[in-house]
Amino acid sequence: MQSLIKTCALSLMFAGLTACGGGGGGGGSDNKPQVSSSKSSVTPSSAPASSTPASSTPTTSAPASSIAPSSSSVSSLAEGSETTQTATSFNGYSIAKIDNCGVGISAANKTFAIFADYDGGVQNQSLSSLSFSGWNHATNGSTTEWTQLKHTGSTYNFSTNAKMNDSCSGVDTINMILLKKIADWDHQHSNGFERNILAYGYKFGDIENLVFDVKINSTKTSIPSVDSLKTTYASYVNGATVDALEDGKVNIGITLGDATNMNAAIIFQLDQSALTDQWARVTIPMSKLSFYQEVNYVRTTKTQADLSNVVIKRMLVVAETKSGEVLRGKIASWSASVPETFKEMDLSFKKIEFQLK
């Protein structure tokens, strides 16, 4: 069952990420060490309803897909409504396959939606109006840096609009092929996206869990196997170094950051052999994130309590290796002749939420 488990920062807030032009996602600064099923019973797709507003949440209205309704009831589920299968746990977070995706979904009170289509009346909604942004270095004009990509550079753009998704009852989803370099830390987070949520006033201490409803799309997902990486880089590193770096799975890096240099991050993993073209819910307790301060690429470990009263400015989402690292720091004589390899992960997100305390 363990096979089931497993946004370029645009300001000085993530100073350690600007050198590569890519977000942190738990992988950290680009050239520095990293911080360290069969169906059974079903559960409702929303958490039990109650109410705990953030201490500084504005009273002004927000887009329907941006913040949960003021009240919600899950006392009964219509037949055929969205449910989740029994979750499988790994390293303290869980993954559950979703049945009847997008049918009869609603938000409980104790949630804040980074992205979710609950209103049912908006199609292809504007992501820029929700304070989303993204980047794509694969269109930077280089004739050599991106030669090993499977598609033309613009294929990896972040779209400014969500798209109606036929695989989830027509709900809006964020769709992007996320890129991660294997060898070089320059532009290692080759693309990604983020959302600014500073105006809502949520603090690190307000959050119980992070929740992601995500689907790996087989059409344009391409991840090199560990054996192929060992062959490609046999003249540069030993096999054990490759094993420590990567295991050929989908890895998604998430970073929450304040307006300066305080962060919390995690890399979660999905096994595409078990989950490709299926919707799954990933639930990550806030306690499982790594908390740290980063200044000039140097990380100082912090505790969850240290950041409890710090207001979150944004969330970033990037592709990652298993470790969040690249090979360059392990190659003694680095040169431009070292071949580059990419992880390409074609993903759709229908929900990114905070479950609040």
Token pair listed for 332: 């003694």
Q: At 242, phi and psi to the nearest 5?
A: -65, -40
To which residue do tokens 């360290």 refer? 36
| β 93-99/207-216 pair status | unpaired
Q: What percent of the chain has pLDDT over 90?
A: 73
Token pair listed for 184: 């070089």
Residue 91 pLDDT level (bands cut at 50, 70, 90): confident
Q: Are 308 and 253 in contact (CB under 8 A)?
A: no
Q: Is residue 231 scored above 60 in pLDDT? A: yes
pLDDT, tens digit (0-9, with 9 covering 90-100), for 101-132: 999 998 888 999 999 998 767 789 999 999 99
pLDDT, tens digit (0-9, with 9 covering 90-100), for 318-350: 999 999 999 999 999 999 999 999 999 999 999
Report the C-alpha gap between 304 and 256 in whole angstroms. Answer: 12
Q: Are 232 and 339 in contact (CB under 8 A)?
A: yes
Q: What is the 8-class DSSP label of residue 308?
A: T
Report the C-alpha gap between 2 and 167 in whole angstroms. Answer: 25
Mean pLDDT of 226-252: 98
User: What are the CA-CA distances from residue 245 to residues 15, 229, 343 (Å)?
Assistant: 23, 10, 13
pTM greater than 0.85 (yes/no) = no
pLDDT, tens digit (0-9, with 9 covering 90-100), for 43-73: 334 333 333 334 333 333 343 344 333 333 3
Report the C-alpha gap between 181 and 27 in whole angstroms. Answer: 12
pLDDT, tens digit (0-9, with 9 covering 90-100), for 253-271: 999 999 999 999 999 999 9
Instruction: Count H helices and E strands in the chain, helices first.
Output: 4, 17
Report the C-alpha gap between 164 and 118 in whole angstroms. Answer: 13
Bridge-partner residues for 347, per DSSP? Answer: 176, 216
Please give the mean pLDDT across all residues of the chain: 83
> Is 11 or 291 the better-scoring residue by pLDDT?
291
Report the C-alpha gap between 277 and 271 in whole angstroms. Answer: 11
User: What are the CA-CA distances from residue 126 to residues 89, 115, 123, 210, 318 (Å)?
Assistant: 34, 11, 9, 23, 20
Bridge-partner residues for 317, per DSSP? Answer: 193, 254
Token pair listed for 233: 């880089």
